[in-house]
Amino acid sequence: MSAPLSPRYLTQPEYSAKVLVRGTPDYERCRRNNPTADTPSRFPREIHVVEGSQDVATALKRATELGAKVGIRSSGHIMNMPNLIEEGILIDTVNLNRQIDYDPITQEISFGPSCRVEELAARLKEVNRFFPHGHAPTVGSGGFLLAGGQGWFVRGWGATIQTWITKIEIVVPDGRTVIASRTENRDLFWAARGSGLGFFGVVTRFWGRTIKASIMWERILKFEINSENYMTVMSWAIERGRDTPKYGTDLNLTIDYPEKFDPAYTTDAVPPNGKLHMTLNLLCYSDNIREARTLLSAYDKLTPEVQEHLLKLEPVQKRTFEEVFARKRGFLGNAKQDRWQINSIMNDPDVPLERLLEAVKPAMLELPTRTSSVFLCHCDIIPDEEDTCLSLPQDLYISTITGWTDPQLEPAIYQPMRDRYRRAFPVAVGQYITEIDVNNDDANCKVLSDTALAKFLQIRAKWDPNELFPNYKAFVRAHDKINRLQSRSQL
């Protein structure tokens, strides 16, 4: 049966059954319900749309009976879709514990893996509390948290999974439902927090601590950027970020064409004589504007060399999560034929800034299409490998998002950015775990430290001896590749 020509990404889809089989309209609609329209030609044997732990256990039992592998989807924002396993079982968690509870005694929230960022924000607003969910409104909690969680104000408060999640409910491969925390199933708790798409269980609920809500503020600066002023403007922006206090600040940089969302442009081609803009969205969380201005004051220091490229400057002003979500909503999954690829690195903090910027310059400035863009944020995550699987330092997260609509550009459209990020291996400590590509190893690099990976593999073998969950193998291939290159002094 042919797929619909204009698939629409839905965050609350309805299906006719809990188990969908190939050849039915709902199966294909579910399989393609991802923010990118470029769904690979991989077809699970069955899709289980689970609602509770027992449904998950049934799906895992079915996979065991069939000798099939298991993929899991919470929102589909991992663009290479590791959840789609040929002849496997896809567990779609879209209806799994899809509610958010707040306990006023413990001041904790609990929620299922497909509760979206915007849903968490709305519930927290009701109870006047804060929890560092993600920035993009339609991202699901499961993938966001298992990857570590580069949540709001991550710089000082740590990755969300590190410092905010207190326990996790998980259905493990043998069908049991267990609680993992710092006091129960500690090895499972360690492995879940940072292993992302390689995790070997199905999370059914998270519990996280909250704090009292404050006020969000934002300051925006926009510059023209090109190959001539790139080093000057980028160096200034990153150094000002490093001069900014970590606690309560959220510093983001994007590079794209201003015509990206212009309806007058209907093709993927880069606009004729197009000029890239670099935008700084600088946010902080503070009780009053005076504090906010102080927190973001490092950016007051505009040197003459930078000032001449300034296009726009907006003063510190109040901002709401809803306003940020509205700005991001059209970015991914806007119900059109948009197709997306994400490549990323996390820089090696010991590499000098000038060398880093030279290495990533092609990925920053040579955007292949009008809708492509660069995203960089200051994360300042210091890992604690004893506590979590999350084990690589995250100073700067640097990514390029390639966007297109014409399927005739495939598969060639993928390779240019893979090549540019592969050339950045020498300045990278690794990459964000959600962007490791199960379809192609070219741009893949480390996602954990070598010692954390070794520990993870031991724990995985204990809990999943029959290898129901296969995606961890992409980690092993990437680590082996990088270690070989390092041993040959090719990096």
pLDDT, position 329: 78
Contact 381, 158 (CB under 8 A): yes
| Dihedral, CA of residue 276, residue 255, residue 442 and residue 202, to nearest 10 | -150
Parallel, antiparallel, or unpaired: how do β-strands 70-73 and 89-92 relate?
Answer: parallel
pLDDT, position 488: 76
pLDDT, position 461: 98
Of 217, 206, 228, 179, the residue nearest 109 (C-alpha): 206
Q: What is the distance between the alpha carbons of residues 102 and 235, in angstroms, rounded to a whole number?
A: 43
Q: pLDDT tens for residues 415-444?
A: 999 999 999 999 999 999 999 999 999 999
Contact 355, 370 (CB under 8 A): no
Q: pLDDT tens for residues 329-381?
A: 766 545 457 899 999 999 999 999 999 999 999 999 999 999 999 999 999 99
Alpha carbon 313 to chain centroid, angstroms: 28
Residues 6+ apart with CB under 8 A from 478: 436, 441, 444, 445, 446, 447
Residues of the chain where predicted confidence (pLDDT) is lower than 50: 1-6, 333, 335
pLDDT, position 1: 35
Residues 6+ apart with CB under 8 A from 358: 231
% residues pLDDT > 70 (the chain): 97
Maximum alpha-carbon separation in the chain: 68
Q: pLDDT tens for residues 131-166?
A: 999 999 999 999 999 999 999 999 999 999 999 999
pLDDT, position 491: 53
pLDDT, position 338: 87
